[in-house]
Amino acid sequence: MASYCLLYIFIYLCSYHIAQTVQKEIEYECVDIYKQPAFQHPLMKDHQIQMRPSVDFQTTVSTEPETSDLFTGKAEERCPKGQVPIHIPQINYTNDFVQPNRIITEANLHYAIIRPFENYTKIWGGAQAVFNIYKPRVLRNQFSKAWIWLNHREKDVISSIQFGWAVHIGLYRDDRPRLTTYWISNRHQNGCYNVLCRGGYVQVHKTIYPGMAYNKISVLGKRQSTAHLLVGQDSRTKNWLLMTRKTLIGYWPYQIFSMQGVSQVFFGGYTGGLAGAISPPMGAGTFPRQVGYRNKFACFMKQLKYFEDKRLVDIDSNEFEEYVDSPKCYDVWYREFEIRSGEMLTFGGPGGQCGIG
């Protein structure tokens, strides 16, 4: 009887280990770098993959240490030579799009951001920030993001590259904060997350990829876990590069994103869910002006910079204004320059029955 019990326990532990291994493995699949969704677009037929930033671009980015330890998993390469990791949502392939089995609801949208004044006409070449990572509680068909928008409008056509971290149960399998990107191009006006559409984003890094979960979460009033993200246009290749510190993760190719610079840069928080429903928390779920920054309660974005004349410089506080569409649910506090933090903002709120105004 004792030997039978030991055998049962052994089988159970093996099954649990296998289940855990399978669960981790389904987070991504290794795909031939030339067979990822980006290369299914006819405009990408003769595209030459950019494996590293140009020398000119590299000299403009931060020289601080790498931060890949903030992501789930080990630092070693995840895929064999010639392949890259692609996040696997629950999907069906139809024509141009990879459609999730569950509808991705993008309604009931609310913002707590800083944005350029409406009459400003400067053209930027990208932006960066250091984010602290939180895990706001969201329900099915809700999302909560810490987000940067790079928008360009030409007549009535909008192009946009957006990036940051997101808790998005309609897009992902769980409620963990993940590196997330979104894009709209003049050739693809419907918009698309990560690599869920033909054309668009090209993955090149073998460890870090859009859809990857952050494995260290900030704790209110205690430890703060941060991650650096940057998107800028390489002046040599004209591709829009997604980087963390000196590491190239991937990029949006010039064949799909022909815009030369962007006319709007937004920084801050962004939530959404079912129309008319309760809105989810944003950031740490706290109002930034109530708790302040020095005690490290609020969700923040710091070292806010943009590309200007091929230089990465602090944003100009005279060019930006705060914007919150639902002050009873969310707020943003543009702190301006802080020693060791640069230009920064804090944002967040508990959500609720927000409405507008």
Taking only the tens place, the pLDDT of each residue in 225-266 is 999 999 999 999 999 999 998 899 999 999 888 788 899 999
- The reply to whether 18 falls in a domain is no
- The reply to whether 243 falls in a domain is yes
| Least confidently predicted of 109-113, 179-183, 282-286, 332-336 | 332-336
**What are the structure tokens assigned to 118, written together?**
């409406």
- The reply to whether 170 falls in a domain is yes
Tally of residues, the chain: 357
Q: Number of folded domains in the chain?
A: 1
- The reply to whether 283 falls in a domain is no
- The reply to whether 285 falls in a domain is no
Average pLDDT, the chain: 82
- The reply to whether 335 falls in a domain is no
Region 156-166: what's the mean pLDDT?
92
CATH number of the domain within which 155 lies: 2.60.120
Higher pLDDT, 66 or 107: 107
- Identify the domain containing residue 98 by its residue range: 27-277+299-326
Cβ–Cβ < 8 Å for 269, 146: yes
User: Hunting for tokens 């590299």 — which residue is that?
Assistant: 58
- The reply to whether 161 falls in a domain is yes
pLDDT tens-digit readout, 9-35: 333 333 333 233 333 445 889 999 999
CA 276 – CA 38 distance, rounded (Å) = 36
Residue 73 Ramachandran class (φ > 0 left, ψ -120 to 50 alpha, else beta): left
pLDDT tens-digit readout, 168-197: 988 888 999 999 999 998 767 778 899 988
* Residue among 300, 289, 129, 335 nearest 218 (CA): 300
